[in-house]
């Protein structure tokens, strides 16, 4: 009775140890063969798992003979193979007299007793066998047989759990792959929709923004062609200026479209060089508002001395040019536009401030999107490209921009470009 209690305690402890191991199949199988050898007093124990119609050794304890250490084909009619195929426990009490076992086994190894228990999985399926051997005749008792059967069943339970976990992991991976594919398709669809929207907007831009100045050019030249002799010099100058203004607008529009195209194919690049941001600001003010203007609108404030810093002159000029032109375009004719320059230890900061119509709060998140125009500018000619160019140039230069605006009160853009003194 005491021996049976000890055996039962050992089996319960084994079950608890296996539960604590998680799904570490190798460690569990090593524990099973070790415990089977201890409980049955066998000289050798092996676990063989079925793989590709062969029983393959997976774990062993004690004596392992060559006949059990090599893959066993099911058609070989070995005791292990018969136990697996029938799903039954088989016990050879004496290999010398049992016809189910090759006589050479005991002659070459001295093994006399073999006990083989199938490892049950589910619904009659067998996953392998647990085999114990001894050099004694009739070495295993009824209690030994029950212990081996219990350990075989426990092994089958673990194998089922491992397989289910593997299947679950594969399902999780497949679900993750499916989710990723779905996200990629959604992204692709979103890009297609964005491309379609941009294409439509570009076509609208071409049909509207090109047609308007072209119409002005055509009508102005026709007026000069048929009525030039009737116009005063002042009227002719006005018509000429209308043509020149339309040509300038078309040129600017084509340049902007070309810049967007260059950026999209990677031809707009960051090329820093030592430049004076003070000279750049003054040059832009003179270019946008030529000297001799009766009532200058651009007001520049900044350092009086030249600081030569590493900046990309072209990108910086494009950023300021578009911000200044927008500020003038969307401000009253008599309202000043301020350009401020500040030099910091690791950055140069430009601020363009106007007192114009401002940008509605609901539009500010989209203001840098290509072709987007504010909801309060329907009667002001524009393409919705300028601020996209500003954003693209800032990204290339590693800079940032801050927008402060209120509808009807004006707008301020603060641009910060990292730089290294040279």
Interval 83-120: pLDDT, tens: 988 899 999 999 888 888 877 777 788 889 999 999 99
Query: How many Cβ atoms from other residues are within 10 Å of residue 152's Cβ?
Result: 26
**Interval 166-193: pLDDT, tens:** 888 888 999 999 999 999 888 888 878 7
Confidence of residue 42 (pLDDT cuts 50, 70, 90): very high
Tokens of 217: 């050019």
Tokens of 30: 């090593």
Q: How far apart are CA 391 and CA 80, in angstroms?
A: 74
Q: Mean pLDDT throughout 21-31?
A: 87
> What does the pLDDT read at residue 247?
81
Average pLDDT, rounded, for the chain: 84
**Interval 235-271: pLDDT, tens:** 888 888 888 877 877 777 677 677 677 766 677 788 8
**Interval 367-408: pLDDT, tens:** 888 777 788 876 777 777 888 889 989 998 999 999 999 888
Is 149 in contact with 117 (CB distance < 8 Å)? yes
> What does the pLDDT read at residue 345?
86
**Interval 62-72: pLDDT, tens:** 887 776 666 77
Q: How far apart are CA 347 and CA 252, in angstroms?
A: 30
Is 39 in contact with 14 (CB distance < 8 Å)? no
**Interval 124-139: pLDDT, tens:** 889 999 999 999 999 9
Domain with CATH 3.30.450.40 in the chain: 2-171
- pLDDT higher than threshold 70 for residue 293: no
The SS3 call for residue 49 is strand
Query: How many Cβ atoms from other residues are within 10 Å of residue 305's Cβ?
Result: 7
Confirm or reject CATH 3.40.50.720 for domain 2-171, answering yes or no: no
Exposed / middle / buried, residue 180 (Cβ in 10 Å: 0-12, 13-18, 19+): exposed
Q: Mean pLDDT throughout 26-38?
A: 91
> What does the pLDDT read at residue 73?
75
Domain with CATH 3.30.565.10 in the chain: 269-418
Which of 89, 90, 19, 31 is CA-nearest to residue 59? 31
> What does the pLDDT read at residue 69?
62
Query: How many Cβ atoms from other residues are within 10 Å of residue 64's Cβ?
Result: 16
Question: Strand 298-301 relative to strand 337-343: parallel, antiparallel, unpaired?
Answer: parallel
Q: How many residues does the chain have?
A: 422
Burial letters 104-136, b for 16+ CB under 10 A, else e: ebbeebebbbbbbbbbbbeeeebbbbbbbbbbe
- pLDDT higher than threshold 60 for residue 223: yes
> What does the pLDDT read at residue 291?
52
Give the rounded percent of residues in the chain with a pLDDT score beyond 90.
30
Confidence of residue 148 (pLDDT cuts 50, 70, 90): very high
Q: Which helix (H) or strand (E) holds 274?
A: strand 273-275
**Interval 296-344: pLDDT, tens:** 889 999 987 888 899 999 889 889 988 998 898 888 888 899 999 999 9
Tokens of 419: 């730089």
Is 277 in contact with 307 (CB distance < 8 Å)? yes
> What does the pLDDT read at residue 401?
94
CATH class (in words) of the domain with range 269-418? alpha beta
Q: How far apart are CA 277 and CA 6, in angstroms?
A: 90
CA distances in angstroms from 391 to 1, 260, 339, 372, listed in the order given: 86, 11, 18, 13
Give the distance from CA 184 to its chain's centroid: 10
Q: Using N-to-C axis directions, what is the helix angle for 233-264 and 386-397, rounded to 10°?
A: 40
Residue that is written with structure tokens 């018969």 in the block:
82
> What does the pLDDT read at residue 265?
63
């Amino acid at each position: 009775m005491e021996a049976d209690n000890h055996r039962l305690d050992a089996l319960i402890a084994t079950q608890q140890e296996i539960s604590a191991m998680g799904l570490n199949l190798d460690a569990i199988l090593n524990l099973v063969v070790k415990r089977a050898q201890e409980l049955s007093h066998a000289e050798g124990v092996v676990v063989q798992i079925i793989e590709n119609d062969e029983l393959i050794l997976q774990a062993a304890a004690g004596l392992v003979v060559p006949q059990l250490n090599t893959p066993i084909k099911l058609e070989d009619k070995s005791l292990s193979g018969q136990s697996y195929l029938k799903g039954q426990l088989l016990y050879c009490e004496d290999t010398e007299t049992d016809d189910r076992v090759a006589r050479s086994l005991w002659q070459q190894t001295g093994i006399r007793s073999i006990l083989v228990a199938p490892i049950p999985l589910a619904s009659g399926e067998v996953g392998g066998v647990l085999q114990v051997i001894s050099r004694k005749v009739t070495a295993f008792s009824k209690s030994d047989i029950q212990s081996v059967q219990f350990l075989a069943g426990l092994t089958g339970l673990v194998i089922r759990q491992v397989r289910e976990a593997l299947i679950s992991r594969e399902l999780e991976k497949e679900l993750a792959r499916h989710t990723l594919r779905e996200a990629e398709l959604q992204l692709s669809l979103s890009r297609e929709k964005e491309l379609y929207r941009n294409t439509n907007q570009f076509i609208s831009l071409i049909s509207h923004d090109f047609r308007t100045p072209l119409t002005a050019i055509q009508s102005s030249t026709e007026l000069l062609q048929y009525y030039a002799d009737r116009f005063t010099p002042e009227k002719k100058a006005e018509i000429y200026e209308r043509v020149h203004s339309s040509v300038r607008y078309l040129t600017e529009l084509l340049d902007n479209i070309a810049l967007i195209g260059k950026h999209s194919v990677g031809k707009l690049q960051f090329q820093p060089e030592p430049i004076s941001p003070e000279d750049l600001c003054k040059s832009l003010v003179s270019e946008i508002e030529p000297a001799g203007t009766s009532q200058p609108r651009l007001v520049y404030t900044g350092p009086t001395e030249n600081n030569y810093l590493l900046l990309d002159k072209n990108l910086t000029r494009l950023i300021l040019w578009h911000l200044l032109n927008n500020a003038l375009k969307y401000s009253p004719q008599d309202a000043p536009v301020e350009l401020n320059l500040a030099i910091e230890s690791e950055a140069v900061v430009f601020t363009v401030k106007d007192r114009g119509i401002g940008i509605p709060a609901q539009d500010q998140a989209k203001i840098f999107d290509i072709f987007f125009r504010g909801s309060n500018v329907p009667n002001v000619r524009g393409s919705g490209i300028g601020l996209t160019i500003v954003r693209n140039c800032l990204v290339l230069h590693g800079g940032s921009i801050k927008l402060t605006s209120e509808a009807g009160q004006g707008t301020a853009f603060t641009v910060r470009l990292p730089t290294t003194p040279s």
